[in-house]
Structure 1
Amino acid sequence: MQLSKIRIKNYRLLIDAELDVDAKTTLIVGRNNTAKTSCFECLATVLTGRGFSYDDYPLQKRDELYSKIMQFMEKKINYEELYEQLEKISLEFLVDYSLDKPEDNLGALSPFIIDVDENTAVAIIRAENRLIMDEKSLWKFLENGYYKDGVFAPDDEEVHDIISSGFNKMFEMSIYAINPNSKTDVQIKSHKELNELFPFYVIPAERTLGEDGSQNGNSLGKLISNYFDISEDELDATVAGEVKKLREIVGKANKDVQKRSDNLLSAIISKAVGFGYPNGEELQLGVTTKLKIDDQIKNQSILSYSLGKDMESLPSKYNGLGYKNLIKMEFMLAAFARDIEKYGTTCIPLLLIEEPESHMHPQMQHTFAEYLEKFLATISNVSIQTFLTSHSAHIANTMDFSKIRYAQKSKFGVVYKNLNVFAQNNAESMDFIKKYLTLSRCDLFFADKIIFVEGASERILLPDMIDKCDKNGEFGSQICRLPAQYYALIEIGGAYAYKFIPFADFLDIPCLILTDLDSVLNKKSVPVSQGETTSNATIKWWMRKHMGLQESDKVKIKLTDITSLSLKDKTRGKCHIEFQTEENGLCGHSLEEAIRNVNRIYYNLEANSTEENLEFKEKCKTDFALNLICDNPNYIIPDYIKSGLIWLNNQKVFE
C-alpha cells in the first residue's frame, strides 16, 4: 500500500491543490513563495493534530468567510446553511492498496477502509477543519461584534478581532474515512489511528549543525550520544555489539570511580570537621558522590575529524558545513528508520526533507539525490515515501521526471504540476529535454521568466543588453523591471529551442526565444535579400503552427512570410519569438551581422554598406561579444532583441 495523492484545500496559497505522490520520492520544485514549505507544514499540522490557525486560512477566502458569518448573524441564512457553505481547510489522503494481495495484512490502513466493494483498492482519508460551536454558543461568541444595544450594527474591526483570535475556538480538526464509491458515506476516526497509519518525520531547512562544538538538541554530537538512551534490542545489529561493549566499560568505570571517590572524600571530610562533632559514639560523616560517566559522554561528546592515525584530530567546527549537513541528515534518517521499525510493514512512513542542498556543493547535491532511495533501503526494511522540496537545479536534474512536481503560482493559488504527465504526452521531445537538463545546469524550474538564446554571443551579451535597455528607459516606469526579475538565460540554439516551447507552456512560464533568421537558398546559407526560406528549425516549427500545418508537414516556408510576421503573430500564449529584422536598409543573417549593421562606425562600415559587408568572418563568436562589451560599451542594441526584451519585461508572472 502507498500514498498516491494528496489534496489540499483552503490552506494558505493552496486553494485547491492536488499533489501526485511517487511511490518512493516526490520532489517539489518551483519559484520562491510557491507553497512548497506550506505543503509540508499542512501535512505536519494534520499528522500532529495541532489544528489550523487563522493565519492558515487563505487571504483570498477571508472576505467570503466574513460574508457568510455576517449573513448568519443577520439571520439571512440558518446555522445548517452556514455550516455547509463555509469553506473549510482540508487535507485529503488517497491510499492505493491495489498491489496488495487479498491475504495481506493492511494493518493501520484497515480502520479507513469502509467500503464493501471487493474491486475497490483506494482508501480516502480527510482531515477537515470544521465548525464545532453549536448555534447558541456561536451566536453568543460573535454577538458583540455585530449588535449594539440589540441593533444589527457590525463593527468590522471588532469582528475581525473576535474571529481571528477565536478561530481555534470556532473550528476544530476532525478525521474522516470516506467511502470512495459514496462520498456521503463517512466515518469519523481518531488522530491516533491516523498517526499509526502515517508515522512521519520532518527534516527542516533550518538545521542547527553545532558549528561551535556546543551540545544542543539538534547538534551532531547530541545525535550520536542519543545512542545511550536506546535499548539494545532497538539498535541496528551492526552497532549493537559495540554499544553494548561501551556500556559495559562505562558501567565498570562508574563503580570503580564511585568507590574510590567516596573513600577519598570521606577521609577528607572526617579530618576537616572540628568542634567535637561527631564523637565516636555517633553516626560518622561520609560522602557519597553520584558520578555518571555516561552522562559526561552524552553531554560532552562532540564530533571530531582525524587522519585515522596517530592521536591528532580537529574539532567538528573545522570541517565543512556541507559535510556536517550530510552527516546530520544521515543520523536523522537513521533515527527515523529506527523509530518506524516498531510499526512493522503495516504503515506508510512519510519523510519530509526541506531543501537538503543547504551548504552542499553541486556534486554533493547530485550524489545526495542519486543515492537517497538506496540509503533509505539500507537502513530500513519498511518502505518510506519521501517528499523533498528544493531550489537546486542539480537535485532537480538528477531526479527522474516522473518524480518531479512543479509548484506553479497564479492569482488563484498554487497548483502542483506532475511532470510525468507532460512526459507521457510529449514522448517525442522527452529524450532531448531530459538529456539537456542532465547535461546543462538549467534553472527554468526556479525562474519567473525564460530567455532561450541561440549561442555563446547572446548568452554573454544578453545581461548587458537588459541593463542597457533598462537604463535607456525601454522598460517603462514599473517598479520591478526585467533586471530585477528572476529570469533564466538558457543557451539552446535555433535547432532545438522549439522542443522546449511545449514544456514552457506546460510550466506556464513567460518565454522569449531569440534566434537567427538563417536565410538559405537551395540549402545554402545566403544573405537575407537572396534567401528563399530558413534553415532554422524553431522558426519552421513556429510558422507551421502559425499556418495551421502539421508538424510533419514538409512544405517549404517562404522567407517573406517569416519576415512579414507581425508582433502579434510572434506571440503564442506566453511564448514570444524574435529574429533579425531590417534596420538601416539591411537585415542581418545572424546576431553578429545585426550588431555590425547598427554599429557601423565601430566596425568601419560605410553608410552605403551591403549585406556582404555585414558578413561575420571572425572565427570566435565569444571574442566578438567580449570585444563589443569591453571596447564599445555604448553600442546600439538591434531592434529585434530590444523588442523581445520589452515584450518579456511586460509579461505578468501571476495571472
Structure 2
Amino acid sequence: MYLSNIKLWNFRKFGSNEIFIDLSQPNLDLNFSKGLNVIVGENDSGKTAIIDAIKLVLRTHSFEYIKVEERDFYQDRKHLRIELLFSDLTPSEAKNFTEWLGWIGNNESAEPYLRLVYEGKMKDQRVLVGDIKAGVDDEGSVLTAEAREYLKTTYLKPLRDAENELIAKKNSRLSQILLGDEAFKGKNKDHELVRIFNDLKIQLEKYFKGEFEITNGDGQVIHCPQEGKDIKQKIDNYIRLFYGSDIYNTLFEATSNDMKSVLEKLTLSLANDSHPGLGTLNRLFMAAELLHLNKAKWTGLRLGLIEELEAHLHPQAQMQVIETLQEEKNIQLILTTHSPNLASKVKLENLIVCDQGQAYPLGADYTKLEKTDYSFLERFLDTTKANLFFAKGIIFVEGWSEEILIPALAKKIGLNLTERKVSVINV
C-alpha cells in the first residue's frame, strides 16, 4: 500500500476566502507516486505543510506528540480538513482495515482503497481536537488505535540530531528501530542478548560486594578486587549516619535486562571512524531508518518522510544518497529539499514543485511533455540548470558570455536578479 493522494482544506498555506469548506473544491489535491517523491520550492511555499499534514493524521514511530494548533488554520478560518488516500493494498494489508475499505471496480477486478479524514475546528479561540476517521463517505467512522498502528510513518526532521538518536539512552530511536525488527520482536526474555546482559549484571553486583573473581586459564582465582566493596562501604557509612541506624545498606545493581532495556544500552557508529562528522552520522541514521522501513513480515504502511535530505551532506554525498533512495522499491518516500544537486539527480516523474499555495507534480500524467522530452531533460538538467525548479523567474541564454553578462547588465539598470530570485540558465 502507498499514500496516493492528499487533499487539504484551510490547512496552513492551502486555503481560500470561502467561509465554509466545499468538499468538491479542495485547496490542495496532490497525487504521489509509489516510490520516491521529492518536493521542491522556495521557503514558505507549502512543502513542510504537506509533510506536517501527513504526520498529523498518521502519527510517527518516534513517540512525537503531534496536535493541531491555531497556526495550522488558514488565515482566520475556523475549520480545516485533511484527507489521505491509500491505494494498492495487498490482502495482508487490507485485512487490517476491513471495515473502512472502499472498492474501485467490480467483481474480481475490484481493488480496495483506504480513505482517512481528519477535521479540526476552532471555537472561542480554542482548538477542538477531532478523531481520525476512515471510510468511503464524507464523515467516515473512527479508526481504532490498533488500525492506526499500521499507518504510522517514519519521520526525519530537518535539523535532526543524528548523534543523539543513535546513542544509548532511554527510548532511543535506535532501540525503537531494533525492537520492531524480527530478530528482537516478541523476544523479551528468551534471547541471547538478554542472557549476555544478565551474566554481566550478576558480575557487576559481585564487584561491588567484593566477590568478583579474576581467574587464569586453568580456572584458578588470581585476584579478587575490593575497590568496588570499598566504595560501597563508604556510601554505607554515610547512609547510616544520615539515618542514625545500622540497618541500612546500599545495593549496586544493573538496570533490568528485558529486551527493551538491553537495546537501549546500544550505540550505533562506524567501525572505522571513531569521531564521525554530522554528514556521516546523518547517513548512518538514514540507514537505520531504512532498516526499519524494510522490516520483514510487516503488513502496515512503509512510508518515510524526510525534510531537507541534504542537511549536513556534501553535494556529492547528496547525489549518492538520492540515487540509493531512488532505487528503493518496497517503500514510499516523500522528501523536501532546497538542493539543486538533489533535483538534478531525481527523475522528473518523482518531482513535485510547490509555489504560492499550489503543488505541481511533474509526472507524465500532469504535463504536456512528450516521452522523449523526459529522457532529454533528465540528461540536460545538471546542478546549475536544476536551479529553474527553485527560481521565481528564468532567463534562458545560449552561451557562457551571456550567462556572465546578463546579471551584470541587469544591475546596471537597477535590477538585481539574485534579489528577484531570477536564475540565468545557459542552454
The reply to whether TM is greater than 0.5 is yes
Amino acid at match of 2:99: P
1:453 and 1:392, CA in 2 relative to 1: closer, same or farther beyond 3 A?
same
Query: Within 5 Å, which residues of 2 pair with 1:121-132?
Result: 121=111, 123=113, 125-129=115-119
- Which position in structure 1 is the counterpart of 2:68? 52
Query: Within 5 Å, which residues of 2 pair with 1:277-288?
Result: 288=251
Give CA-to-partner distance per residue, 1:381-409, whole Å, 9 cap, x none. Answer: xx322111111222222222221111122
Flag the structure with more relative contact order, 1 or 2, with Cα contacts below 8 A and sequence separation at least 6.
2
Q: CA deviation at 1:427?
A: 3.3
Tell me how far apart the structure 1 counterparts of residues 417 and 58 of structure 2 sit (CA, whole Å): 42
Q: CA deviation at 1:431?
A: 3.1
1:469 and 1:122, CA in 2 relative to 1: closer, same or farther beyond 3 A?
farther
Aligned identity (percent) is: 21
- Which position in structure 1 is the counterpart of 2:141? 188
1:301 and 1:225, CA in 2 relative to 1: closer, same or farther beyond 3 A?
farther
- Which position in structure 1 is the counterpart of 2:214? none
- Counterpart check, 1:453 vs 2:391: no
Q: CA deviation at 1:333?
A: 3.0
Root mean square deviation of aligned Cα: 4.1
- Counterpart check, 1:490 vs 2:419: no
Query: Within 5 Å, which residues of 2 pair with 1:299-378?
Result: 303=269, 306=272, 314=274, 316=275, 319-338=276-295, 344-345=298-299, 347-374=300-327
Q: CA deviation at 1:417?
A: 3.2
Task: Decide which structure has greater helix share.
Answer: 1
1:258 and 1:176, CA in 2 relative to 1: closer, same or farther beyond 3 A?
closer
1:235 and 1:427, CA in 2 relative to 1: closer, same or farther beyond 3 A?
same
Secondary structure of the residue that 2:364 maps to in structure 1? helix
- Counterpart check, 1:235 vs 2:183: yes
Report if the CA contact (8 A) 2:37-2:334 is conserved: yes
Give CA-to-partner distance per residue, 1:487-519, whole Å, 9 cap, x none. Answer: 211101xxxxxxxxxxxxxxxxxxxxxxxxxxx
Q: CA deviation at 1:31?
A: 1.9
- Which position in structure 2 is the counterpart of 1:109? 97
Give CA-to-partner distance per residue, 1:584-621, whole Å, 9 cap, x none. Answer: xxxxxxxxxxxxxxxxxxxxxxxxxxxxxxxxxxxxxx
Q: CA deviation at 1:352?
A: 0.6
Q: Which runs of 5+ in 2 are unaligned?
A: 16-26, 60-64, 211-225
Query: Within 5 Å, which residues of 2 pair with 1:104-183?
Result: 106-114=94-102, 118=107, 120-121=110-111, 123=113, 125-129=115-119, 163=124, 165-166=125-126, 168-169=127-128, 172-179=130-137
Q: CA deviation at 1:236?
A: 7.2
1:262 and 1:8, CA in 2 relative to 1: closer, same or farther beyond 3 A?
same
Tell me how far apart the structure 2 counterparts of residues 228 and 89 of structure 1 sit (CA, whole Å): 33
- Counterpart check, 1:388 vs 2:323: no
Tell me how far apart the structure 1 counterparts of residues 92 and 263 of structure 2 sit (CA, whole Å): 45
Tell me how far apart the structure 2 counterparts of residues 4 and 396 of structure 1 sit (CA, whole Å): 21
- Counterpart check, 1:42 vs 2:33: no
Amino acid at match of 1:386: L
1:32 and 1:56, CA in 2 relative to 1: closer, same or farther beyond 3 A?
same
Tell me how far apart the structure 2 counterparts of residues 122 and 232 of structure 1 sit (CA, whole Å): 27
Give CA-to-partner distance per residue, 1:512-550, whole Å, 9 cap, x none. Answer: xxxxxxxxxxxxxxxxxxxxxxxxxxxxxxxxxxxxxxx
Amino acid at match of 2:387: D
Q: CA deviation at 1:123?
A: 3.0
Query: Within 5 Å, which residues of 2 pair with 1:242-261?
Result: 248-261=195-208
Larger Rg: 1
2:362 counterpart (404, 413, 418): 418
Tell me how far apart the structure 2 counterparts of residues 440 and 327 of structure 1 sit (CA, whole Å): 28
1:37 and 1:253, CA in 2 relative to 1: closer, same or farther beyond 3 A?
same
Q: CA deviation at 1:207?
A: 0.6
Q: CA deviation at 1:305?
A: 5.8
Tell me how far apart the structure 2 counterparts of residues 430 and 370 of structure 1 sit (CA, whole Å): 18
Give CA-to-partner distance per residue, 1:195-214, whole Å, 9 cap, x none. Answer: 2442211111111144xxxx
1:96 counterpart (87, 99, 109): 87
Give CA-to-partner distance per residue, 1:72-115, whole Å, 9 cap, x none. Answer: xxxxxxxxxxxxxx7x4122222334x85xx7662223222256
1:191 and 1:202, CA in 2 relative to 1: closer, same or farther beyond 3 A?
farther
TM-score (norm 1): 0.50
Tell me how far apart the structure 2 counterparts of residues 248 and 272 of structure 1 sit (CA, whole Å): 30
- Which position in structure 1 is the counterpart of 2:353? 406
- Counterpart check, 1:437 vs 2:395: no
Q: CA deviation at 1:348?
A: 2.5
Secondary structure of the residue that 2:386 maps to in structure 1? coil
Report if the CA contact (8 A) 1:205-1:358 is conserved: yes
TM-score (norm 2): 0.74
Query: Within 5 Å, which residues of 2 pair with 1:250-649?
Result: 250-263=197-210, 264=226, 288-291=251-254, 303=269, 306=272, 314=274, 316=275, 319-338=276-295, 344-345=298-299, 347-374=300-327, 383-409=330-356, 413-422=357-366, 425-438=369-382, 441-470=385-414, 475=415, 482-492=417-427
Report if the CA contact (8 A) 1:37-1:354 is conserved: yes
Give CA-to-partner distance per residue, 1:215-268, whole Å, 9 cap, x none. Answer: x4x35565989459956973379xx9xx96665444323322322321346688
